[in-house]
Amino acid sequence: MPAPAAPEAVAEPGPSGPPAAPRTRPPLDGEAATDLPERWARRLEQGASPVSSPGTRGILIAVAPDAAVSGPPESAPSGPPDFVQAGGPETTPAALLEAGEAALRAGELDRATKHLQAVPRDAPEATEALHLLGVAAHRRGDLALARSHFADAARRSGPAADDAARALSTLARGEAMAESGDVERSNNFVLRVPETSRGGSIGRSVDILRTLERALTRILRDLPTVPDRPIPVFVLSVGEFNQRFGVMPGMVLYGVYVPAERAIFVNDALGDAADRQGRDTLAHELTHALVDRATAGRTSATWLNEGFARYQGRASVDQEPVSRAEWAELRDRARNGTLPALASVRHSLGDGLIAYRLGAAACLFIEQRFGMHRIAQYLDGLRRGDSHDAAFTRAFNGSEARFEADFRAWLTSR
């Protein structure tokens, strides 16, 4: 998210992260407290969680929502509660908004809409409710209704109004892409590149589309989720990209997948889409897009989401997902008790970018112990409405706690 200097000079952020700043509101369910600046925290809350990935030259990539889902026991009903008696605490505007957000995160669009529509339009929470109603309508494919909700929210004030205005702009840009010649297409992607893009818009488009299609072919071996419609991809100028995603000085952000808009955004600073950095970045972001579609928008475990994206990104450049130095660090931390539990990883900037290294190592464990098809089985369980615990247990023949114990034993024996 940071304004790029020369990519070669970029240093990865340390474990302490950027300086602290107040949050705009309390963390969402499952979201850890964070020391990120306010605008980064806002992105965490709105579905484009900033995370870091060490790539070939140091890279920051924003991805799907970061909260690992810890669903209720199978015997308990999943999802946020329905309304209770009128006037109770569950029907206050704040509670309705919270229930709507939880349902939206769980992929339960009807339930989310029910809660969000009940938020009074004169309540302080109404702007956020309208924005989220737009997100729900967009996920259903009802672009006219999404546009209406986003416009209503954008006419108000506050961070949610700004988010709605950006979503409205993205919708308008996508419609303009579809109706104009200022767009390139392939079988599974629709791409817009500015005329001022490095290398020229036409040549740049061909490189990006070819790289994405090749990455899709590779990822489909492990995650058979063919896009039901072309995935929008926007290449933004460096300045527009940095402003759109709140990039801070001294760091580089090359790509973002935004679940609420179901679109991939690429920084024109990326350079050649066919080089190692380009292939890694595009495959990484495409993996997030496919995981989001495989779960119908339900949030998967952070370590698996990030680890699987790194696994696929590195595979695209024939590089091991975990380096020898990273293996040594993970093994030593597992032995001395300082390695965080998989389920405790809540956002990808925490603990020195541990979600990438730990998640990629866990994916290699899955590959050896179960086969990568089990990841697709887990994601499909989430899509069907299973809780995280139920989907995980079914896919990996046991609870996440048992998986953790076996994974650590495997890790320390390497």
pLDDT digits (tens, 9 = 90+) for 182-192: 568 888 999 88
Q: Where in the chain is the domain with CATH 1.25.40.10?
A: 89-171
The pLDDT, as a whole number, for residue 177 is: 52
Cβ(164)–Cβ(131) below 8 Å? yes
pTM (predicted TM-score): 0.63
Angstrom CA distances, 194 to 140, 183, 203, 230, 275, stand at 29, 9, 12, 19, 20
Which residue in 208, 341, 251 sits closest to 10, CA to CA?
251
CATH number of 89-171: 1.25.40.10
pLDDT in tens, 150-163: 999 999 988 888 88
Residue 182 is predicted with a pLDDT of: 54
| pLDDT tens-digit map of 319-363 | 999 999 999 999 999 999 999 999 888 665 545 578 888 999 999
Greater pLDDT, 62 or 264 = 264
Which pLDDT belongs to residue 371?
94
Helices (H), 89-158: 93-105, 109-117, 126-140, 143-154
d(CA 327, CA 306): 17
**Interval 47-59 mean pLDDT:** 33
Query: pLDDT tens for residues 290-322?
Result: 999 999 888 888 899 999 999 999 999 999 999
Q: What is the CA radius of gyration of the chain?
A: 21
| pLDDT of 196 | 63
Residue 149: predicted pLDDT: 92
Q: Give me the pLDDT at residue 80, please.
A: 43
